[in-house]
Amino acid sequence: MSAPVLFDVPGPKAQARIRIGSAVGALVVLAIVGFVLLRLAGNDQLDPQRWAVLFDPASGVPQALGEALLRTLQVALVGMVFATLLGLLLAAGRLSDHSWVRIPVTTVIEFFRAIPLLVVIFALFFILPSFGIRLSAYAALTGGLVLYNMAVLAEIFRAGIMSIDKGQREAAFGIGLRKSQVMTLVLLPQAVRRMLPVLIAQLVVLLKDSSLGFIIGYFELLRQARSLVEFFIPRFGDQYTFQLYVGAGLIYIIVNVLLSQLAKYVERRGRRQKATVATEPIRMPDENAPTTTGI
């Protein structure tokens, strides 16, 4: 059901009301934006010279934020690669015919899906050292992201493989392929095409979660901004604090928006391709929300 079903095509009176509503709505939004800008200006936060620090190479800020962005992307990419590999293994394990494989694998998946990511990261960072394994903030963050996301991805892969028409599987067995061949030659290639948008959406989630590095002191964008602020405070006071935080936050948002758009593009393209007609659109096993959602 698309939106216009909910209301009649507006007549002259309704159009007038909608115009009034639009004007009021736009005014309210403008008023809020104006209020925020006014307050910011009142605190001298809009001074162009204060924002210039974000773009002035002499201050070292653009370089520092650029490196931080690379570190952020690095955590997300390394996490994604390992999480994908382990997720594939776990998905295969969960779909296994042997209960001695299926049950432990299911337990692992459900366990990591049930606890907050930050608890996993804290466990690696604060609890492993007392067993003599000392992880750096980078290793703890990446490890946490891998453990958590492999469980999430395993469920996505499982949903993707299950979404393929069962005739494919039966036909593959019918021409005499072995179990592993059915999986690698027939099911996975079709499932992966279907799953690509979900995988990219999950990369956005991973990138978002890499900001947790802030809490354990990994120098991703936010922590980098914080340390720049701490560096500037003795010299310039609070002058650049707000600008640096906003800058770091905006970089996160822009990169994520770009990736989300890519996911949507891939999804649209995939829908047009004939190679994917044998599959239903995948939903997360427990989610009716659109596939490009990641909370």
Question: CA–CA separation, 47 vs 38, rounded Å?
Answer: 12
Residue 204 found at the interface with other proteins (CB under 8 A)? yes
DSSP per position, 107-137: HHHHHHHHS-HHHHHHIIIIIGGGGT-PPPH
Stretch of 47-55, 56-64, 108-116, 159-167 contacting other proteins, by CB under 8 A: 108-116
Of the residues 131, 175, 272, 273, which one makes contact with other proteins according to CB under 8 A: 131
Residue 287 found at the interface with other proteins (CB under 8 A)? yes
List all residues 6 or more positions away from 135 whose beta carbon is below 8 Å from its beta carbon: 124, 125, 128, 129, 143
Residue 10 found at the interface with other proteins (CB under 8 A)? yes
Residue among 176, 3, 145, 151 at smallest CA distance from 78 = 145
The residue with tokens 């010279």 is 49
Residue 289 found at the interface with other proteins (CB under 8 A)? yes
Torsion of CA 96, 99, 100, 102, to 10 degrees: 50
Report in angstroms how near the CB of residue 229 gets to other proteins at its nearest.
9
239 strand-pairing partners: none
Question: CA–CA separation, 178 vs 188, rounded Å?
Answer: 14
Stretch of 48-56, 96-104, 190-198, 205-213 contacting other proteins, by CB under 8 A: 205-213
Of the residues 54, 75, 92, 117, which one makes contact with other proteins according to CB under 8 A: 117
Per-residue binding letters, 19-58, with other proteins (x by CB under 8 A): --xx--xx--x-----xx--xx-xx-x-------------
Residue among 95, 135, 90 at smallest CA distance from 113 = 90
172 versus 263: smaller Cβ distance to other proteins: 263
Q: Which tokens belong to 45?
A: 């936060």
Of the residues 49, 99, 130, 273, which one makes contact with other proteins according to CB under 8 A: 130
From the number of C-beta atoms within 10 Å of its C-beta (0-12, 13-18, 19+), residue 242 rates as middle
146 versus 152: smaller Cβ distance to other proteins: 152
Q: Are 120 and 148 in contact (CB under 8 A)?
A: yes
Q: Which tokens belong to 55?
A: 């773009």
Of the residues 48, 99, 100, 286, which one makes contact with other proteins according to CB under 8 A: 286
Query: Which positions from 75 through 94 interact with other proteins, judged by CB under 8 A?
Result: none
Report in angstroms how near the CB of residue 167 gets to other proteins at its nearest.
27
Report in angstroms how near the CB of residue 218 gets to other proteins at its nearest.
12
Distances (CA, A) of 36 to 24, 31, 81: 18, 9, 41
Of the residues 84, 149, 211, 224, which one makes contact with other proteins according to CB under 8 A: 211
Q: Which 8-state DSSP code applies to residue 164? A: B
Residue 214 found at the interface with other proteins (CB under 8 A)? yes
Q: Which residues bind other proteins (CB under 8 A)?
A: 1-3, 5-8, 10, 14, 18, 21-22, 25-26, 29, 35-36, 39-40, 42-43, 45, 114-119, 122-123, 126-127, 130-131, 204, 207-212, 214-215, 222, 241-242, 245-246, 248-249, 252-253, 256-257, 260, 286-290, 293-295
